[in-house]
Amino acid sequence: MKDYEVIIVGGGPAGIFAALTLAEGGATDVLLLEQGKGIGKRIRHCAGDMLCGWGGAGAYSDGKLTLSTEVGGHLGDFLDDRALFDLLAEADRVYVEHGAPDRLFGDLTPEVEELGEKARLAGLEFIPSRIRHIGTENCVNVLGRMYESLSGKIEICTDCHVESLLAQEGRIVGVKLADGEIRYGRHVIVAPGRSGAGWMKGEAKSLGIRTMASAVDIGVRVELPATVLKPLTDVSYESKLVYYSKSFDDRVRTFCMNPYGEVVAESNEGLVTVNGHSYASKKSDNTNFAILVSSSFTEPFDDPIAYGRYIAQLANLLGQGVIVQRLGDLLQGRRSTKERIAKCLTRPTLGDATPGDLSFVFPYRHLKNIIEMLQAMDSLAPGVSSRHTLLYGVEVKFYSNRIEVSKELETTVANLFAVGDGAGITRGLLQASASGILAARAVADRLGHSQ
């Protein structure tokens, strides 16, 4: 059985960028294992393909690369701002080399500074960010070019599930595949992605690696006419806003704003949740974004993922999937019906959502936080809190248990590195990619392949 210098588990952004970094440094004895299909064989909207396969969950995202040290993960715990920004810029450069658009949104202009001042007057914190938007329809092409860049330089196996990590005397020695085959490696970089978060948690426990539970973000996807948010999206393509609720002092934020985009349903381990996309080449009449409330727990309950799943399951039980409700109906204490949705000035882009009542789904605390956030945003962009605004539920962001790692992202098991969203280190495309670079550079140094 062949021994490898490096085994990479996971073919999402973190794993791909680890492989690209190692290949660029001259490492050839590298094996990348991905449990899902190759990029050309994945099928959009197929439940098994949405999160797994070459490119990970990012393959079917709208491809926003956020060049900010303030959002997207925890790499700031290991690097200072300058070093982290340089690392993000390096990852961004690789995306552009493989076909991402040249254009960047959100440069710091007088208009952006003015937007920040207006946000403060509305009780909101505006986080300026430079964003490169690949577009939902273009992500697959960019990821395909990355595969081509690695072809012939490293060994890639798709449809190859890793059952467990193997360690001896505190040092990683390889991985065991689902078919019982063992692949030995001196170094292992684990990049399991969102779909592998549960597996990663279990492997960490079996290897004695400490983890820490992360908060879960629960909320709604908001949809309204694009003209309402045009004053924001024209200035900053994705306006990242943070609000601390008056009633509970909870942190509430906007997430994944999609100008002229579409609301979509997602299937994740038996749950149907809601998300949003925006395309580079086609536009709708609406803009959508998420409002998320961060929830964390202490003793005796410490399983935020289970809590988030419970809320999503409740929505699925009542609505047989995604529920949609007019804000006006919610505030009047009544459910939305097909007839009421038909009268709505905001035409829904998700046609198969069930008109219903989100007050049967969310705890009072969450609903109150969401309504307060919409009212604050209405001061910044009049019309956000209109009775014709649509709310879709539930949107849930499950964040993996955070693995204890060093500044090089090495775990307490020697030569085992944990990167990306599945290890709880990052929460987005660009930081996930950057984490792969960071770990791969540390491995390359040990192998003598650093440039």
Which string of DSSP letters, residue by residue, matches 367-434? HHHHHHHHHHHHHHSTTTT-TT-EEEEEEEE--PPEEP--TT-B-SSBTEEE-SGGGTSBSSHHHHHH
* Fold classification of 3-100+138-212+401-447 (topology level): FAD/NAD(P)-binding domain (3.50.50)
Domain ranges of the chain: 3-100+138-212+401-447, 216-397
Token pair 């990052």 is found at: 426
pTM of the model: 0.88
Q: For residue range 319-348, what is the model confidence (pLDDT) as tens digits?
A: 999 999 999 999 999 999 999 999 999 999
Residuewise pLDDT in 10s, the chain (451 residues): 679 999 999 999 999 999 999 999 998 899 999 999 988 888 777 766 777 899 998 888 888 999 999 888 999 999 999 999 999 999 999 999 999 999 888 777 888 899 999 999 999 999 988 899 998 889 999 999 999 999 999 999 999 999 999 999 999 999 999 999 999 999 999 999 988 888 999 999 999 999 988 888 999 999 999 999 999 999 888 889 999 999 999 999 999 999 999 999 988 778 899 999 888 778 999 999 999 998 888 778 877 888 989 999 999 999 999 999 999 999 999 999 999 999 999 999 999 999 999 999 999 999 999 999 999 999 999 999 999 999 999 999 877 789 999 999 999 999 999 999 999 999 889 999 999 999 999 999 999 865 4
Closest CA to 158 of 47, 51, 39, 35: 35
Give the pLDDT of residue 115: 93
Distance CA(66)–CA(89), nearest Å, equals 10
Give the pLDDT of residue 320: 93
Give the pLDDT of residue 449: 63
Closest CA to 289 of 268, 260, 331: 260
Give the pLDDT of residue 71: 87
Q: Write down the mean pLDDT value for the chain.
A: 93
As to burial, measured by CB atoms within 10 angstroms (0-12 exposed, 13-18 middle, 19+ buried), residue 328 is middle
Q: For residue range 53-81, what is the model confidence (pLDDT) as tens digits?
A: 999 988 888 889 999 998 889 999 999 99
Give the pLDDT of residue 47: 62
